[in-house]
A and B are shown apart, each in its own frame.
Chain A
């Protein structure tokens, strides 16, 4: 990773954290409603994985604000979507959990745990059919690895040798249920090992994540078939804003935060690339400003028109019934 890439990743990590704190604040104020899943603590993984997987398609989960922005969707369009406004990336019809933009090859934003994995498999089939081996990256949590959709997908992707990168963000908790209470092991890569190469990485280390995803994409580009990457990570907040995070001890949270991905990336910039505090401070100010502008944009944006209720049900004909 060169200095430019490192600086970009660091910038998007701090912008991501500032964005998530702003979203939390506006959720508490009532500007944002529904389910809101914050990515605080996992910023290094989200940003570095997306930046490393430069070409190709990405399918993600409901904890995807930072990934969507790393793919190029503007913070304004994401924040406006959280506010439910017409200027949102999904015009206020999707909300926090459903950010889609095919022009950035980003397909959500899926809120059925594991439900998007078979979609990513199908997209990988399409890419192989089109002789495009940049492939597809599908991101999911440890919770998704216990469901049938996941196992069916491992089997089909391997049988068909599809260009598919499975990225498991293992933060060890499915809402409040610790992974070892419902699965026989800590590392979910064991589930993939019979089907494909399975790599592990420290998800709190953005540099390491960047490298492993680059290597993994190089593997699928050779047409060898799918590959599995498991990133061990930690979310600082509850599963969503409705989760008070009572199931983790203060000691466990302290150990988690001692691995902070932003502090770690900052040390890479200062120690390896010789950036000084002023330059880093300038990045932080810029990130905060961008988030403030996104909030201001979302706050003043228009509500969807009443007719929007009936648009986009179908491509042809528009409405639900022919009557």
Chain B
């Protein structure tokens, strides 16, 4: 099954169970979704539940908040993360805060889904990542799906939960293949150990998990070591327990992310490690992240602006030799 098909299956199965679940966004209905995630649902559930909105992101999230207040369970789709900036007032001031400000009288069972990240030459206004901003807002659950099975289970969980969720997808993952195990439930807030190892813990999420996995053979060959690769899955809350266990085993931490390095999401993970498990570390943690530049259109420059399997391998090998690890 493809990643987008797993998301579609999660939507379809939950919508089938509960008629309060509605989907809204640009081109989600008749068109079938820009990335075909909602394909087929309009024909099955009709225009009242697959709501084609105008290009008005503030209203897409703002209306979803109101729908949730009114007793529905909306799943909003923002076409791409950069457009979500137009909805930040609604995400930050309303979606994240009404439950708290009303002392729990208002609940917002809602999900905002959006793809993000560098795809292929979409330039600076269609390529960014915003988990660092979203995770800094108390009141939001933030999940990032790198894996087909996780995408299916985590989206179902988010839709069925009474809390507001941001569900981050990556534009290059929609056609990723994988198996969905519908029989075995997962905890969407638990990090996933993608590969076990004993010498270095590489933490990542979203598409960078695949790039790290592509880099691992080169790293292991160059250094004669074994890498443990962890997919965070839930960016807020963070499953620090799983990270702690792994780092206590390997004594080394590498954080790989696609967003810009300054103020980037991985800073939180490294800061946590410095505060909480400093003495378990044998070397300074390494952060591999996107450059502090807007994302350029030119393909060579674009690839130079973010981590790639080659740059990840090279940076880890250099760091390792410099620190004698």
Among A64-115, those with CB < 8 Å from B are: 90-94, 98, 100-103, 107-110, 112, 115
Q: From A322, which residue of chain B is reached at the shortest CB distance?
A: B237
Residues of A within 8 A of B234 (CB): 322
Question: Which of B99-107, B216-224, B250-258 lies at the interface with chain A?
Answer: B99-107
Evaluate contact between A122 and B67: CB separation under 8 angstroms: yes
Interface-forming stretch among A167-175, A180-188, A278-286, A313-321?
A313-321
Nearest-neighbor residue (CB-CB) of B97 within chain A: A98
Say yes or no: is B239 at the interface (Cβ < 8 Å to chain A): yes
A100 touches B58 (CB 8 A): no
Contact between chains at B238 and A321 (CB < 8 Å): yes
Min CB distance, A5 to chain B, in Å?
A: 28
Contact B163 A118, beta carbon cutoff 8 Å: no
Q: Which residues of A contact B69 (CB under 8 A)?
A: 57, 102, 107, 119, 122-123, 126
> Is B70 touching A322 in the complex (CB atoms < 8 A)?
no
Please classify the interface of chain A as helix (H, G, I), strand (E, B), loop, or mixed, using the class held by over half of its residues: mixed
Q: Which of B47-95 contact A (CB under 8 A)?
A: 48, 51, 53-54, 56, 58-59, 61-72, 74, 89-90, 93-94
Q: Are B70 and A115 in contact (CB under 8 A)?
A: no
A152 interface residue per 8 A CB criterion: yes
Residues on B with beta carbons closer than 8 Å to the beta carbon of A124: 66, 70
Whether the Cβ atoms of A125 and B238 lie closer than 8 Å is no
| Residue interface bits A19-49, CB-to-B below 8 A is 1, else 0 | 0000000000000000000000000000000
> What are the residues of chain A within 8 A of B308 when measuring CB–CB?
none
Contacts of B51 in A (CB 8 A): 125
Whether a CB of chain B sits under 8 angstroms from the CB of A300 is: no
Q: Any chain A CB within 8 A of the CB of B278?
A: no
Tell whether A102 pairs with B106 under 8 Å between CB atoms, given A115-B94, A118-B59, A320-B138: yes
Q: How large is the interface on B (under 10, 10 to 19, 20 to 34, 35 or more residues)?
A: 35 or more
Select one of B70, B90, B107, B162 contacting A125, CB under 8 A. B70
Closest B residue to A88 using CB positions: B103
Q: Which of B62, B107, B241 contacts A119 (CB 8 A)?
A: B62
Listed by A's residue number, 29 A-B pairs whose Cβ atoms lie within 8 Å are: A57-B70, A90-B101, A92-B103, A101-B105, A107-B106, A108-B98, A115-B90, A115-B94, A116-B94, A118-B58, A118-B65, A119-B66, A121-B62, A122-B67, A122-B68, A123-B69, A125-B67, A130-B70, A148-B58, A155-B54, A155-B56, A312-B102, A313-B99, A313-B139, A314-B139, A316-B161, A317-B163, A321-B236, A323-B237
Besides A57-B70, A312-B99, 18 other CB < 8 A contacts? A93-B102, A93-B103, A94-B103, A100-B102, A110-B94, A119-B65, A119-B69, A125-B67, A149-B59, A155-B56, A159-B54, A311-B104, A313-B139, A314-B99, A316-B163, A320-B237, A323-B238, A323-B240
Interface residues of A (CB under 8 A from B): 57, 59, 90-94, 98, 100-103, 107-110, 112, 115-127, 129-130, 148-149, 152-153, 155-156, 159, 311-317, 320-323
